Amino acid sequence: MNHFLTIGEYSPETIQHFIDVSEQLHKSKELVLTSKNIAFIFEKPSLRTKVGTEAAINQLGGNVIHVESDLVLSSGKAVPFSCRESLYDAMKNLSLWCDAVFARVYSHQTLQKMKEYGNIPVINALCDDHHPMQALADLYTLQQTFGKDQKLTISFIGDANNVSFSLIEIALKFGHTVHFSAPEKYSWPDETLNYFALLATEYSGFFMQFNDPFDAVSNADAVYTDTFISMGEEHLYEDKINHFEPYQINEKLFNEAGKEAAFMHCLPAHRGVEVTNEVIDHPNSLVYQQAENRMVVSKGIFASLLTGEAKEFKTNGVLSVPS
């Protein structure tokens, strides 16, 4: 059985297959998910992931069933119990009625347990460590803009978070160059840097970390940023804002990349914090194209996993994702 929990689990060929199937289905409108039921379980709020993916499933003839996260994952209401029922029992039940689970959670371990306990595909709608659906949409957006065969320099300026991790994974797997710049306190640990180095070697990509964001964006094809304060990190607001102030994507920094550079952001954006209006609303901004593609790439993922076409890439431990 195939699942979609991380970019690292799949080969570039299979990832491209997801994109190609998505593009085909978006044009053909073929109802390949007729009679398929997908359970949505969201611990975290969502706009693009929830609405875009539900629209994709509806367009392909499938049905979405929203399950309150408290019913499956945890609840303070069932005192004195810590949860309403075990995740094991919940997944066994959902497997009787649904064809897949689409879950946005805090802990990646929750997704791994869902995969272990259930008998249906589990798709990662976001967790604290990974955002593979966003990365898939980002790659598709870059291919639409620059072409499939073009090797790019992608500069990510901002936090070492789930979005940047999955973006770096997918970019390196497709042989692109990735420049990363963040305050030292919020950069990657050595284990992750070693993983990126292995990916770059295996797939002929290149990764480099910069202290100075101006050096990182110089001659970049695309400049990418994300919120400096991820969901669940609100208590770090003051510290992170102080550290990240020099990393705001403003006109001065964006212009360092050159006139043809694209701007990317997964949204939601905090205008005036990680990016200024002049940049996010720039003619070269791809943010709404990225948002639309969140819907498009969902089609290929669900169609491939639910029809048994996806082939899981086995790493044999050589390129295992850091835990």
- Which tens digit of pLDDT belongs to each residue from 104-131? 999 999 999 999 999 999 999 999 999 9
The pLDDT > 90 percentage for the chain reads 84
Residue 103, strand partner residues? 41, 124
**Mean pLDDT along residues 21-26:** 96
pLDDT value at position 316? 35
Residue identified by tokens 């949860």 is: 83
pLDDT band at 71 (very low <50, low <70, confident <90, very high): confident
Whether residue 226 lies in the annotated active site: yes
176 against 258, higher pLDDT: 176
- The yes-or-no answer on residue 159 being catalytic is no
The pLDDT assigned to 230 comes to 75
Is residue 26 within 8 A of residue 299, CB to CB? The reply is: yes
Supply the pLDDT for residue 240: 85
Per-domain boundaries in the chain: 7-130+294-306, 135-290
77 has a pLDDT exceeding 60: no
pLDDT at 158 (0 to 100): 97
Rounded to two decimals, the pTM is 0.92
Whether 266 is a known active-site residue: answer: yes
Q: How many Å apart are CA 104 and CA 113, to the nearest integer?
A: 14
The burial class, CB within 10 Å (0-12 / 13-18 / 19+), for 96 is exposed
b/e map 13-27, b = 16+ CB within 10 Å: ebbbbbbebbbebbe
Verify whether residue 48 is a known catalytic residue. no
Q: Is there a catalytic annotation at residue 271?
A: no
CATH of 7-130+294-306, picked from 3.30.420.40, 3.40.50.1370, 3.30.1370.140, 3.40.50.720, is 3.40.50.1370
* Annotated active-site residue in 3, 130, 282, 294: 294
Q: Which two tokens stand for residue 239?
A: 């510290």
Catalytic residue (one of 16, 134, 143, 290):
134
313 by DSSP, 3-state: which?
coil
Q: Annotated catalytic residue: which of 3, 130, 265, 266?
A: 266
Q: Is 99 a catalytic residue?
A: no
Residue 1 has pLDDT above 70, yes or no: no
Whether the pLDDT of residue 320 is over 90: the answer is no
What are 160-208's pLDDT values in tens digits? Answer: 999 999 999 999 999 999 999 999 999 999 999 999 999 999 999 999 9
Across the range 203-227, mean pLDDT stands at 97
Which of the residues 26, 108, 130, 131 is marked catalytic? 131
Computed over every residue of the chain, the mean pLDDT equals 91
User: Which one-letter DSSP state was computed for residue 50?
Assistant: I
* Percent of the chain surpassing pLDDT 70: 90
CATH number for 135-290 (one of 1.10.150.20, 3.40.109.10, 3.40.50.1370, 3.40.50.620): it is 3.40.50.1370
Question: Nearest to residue 105, comparing CAs of 128, 75, 76?
Answer: 128
Binned at pLDDT 50, 70 and 90, residue 75 comes out as very low
* Lowest-pLDDT choice from 72-81, 111-120, 305-314: 72-81
End-to-end CA distance of the chain: 22
Question: 308 is written with which tokens?
Answer: 């048994």
**In the predicted structure, residue 46 carries a pLDDT above the cut 90:** yes
What per-residue confidence (pLDDT) applies to 239? 82
User: How does DSSP assign 232-289, residue by residue?
Assistant: T-GGGHHHHHHHHGGG-B-HHHHHTT-TT-EEEE-S---BTTTB-HHHHTSTTB-HHH
Catalytic residue among 98, 138, 226, 290, which? 226
CA–CA dist 133, 187 (Å, integer) = 22
For residue 187, the model assigns a pLDDT of 96
Mean pLDDT score, 44-58: 97
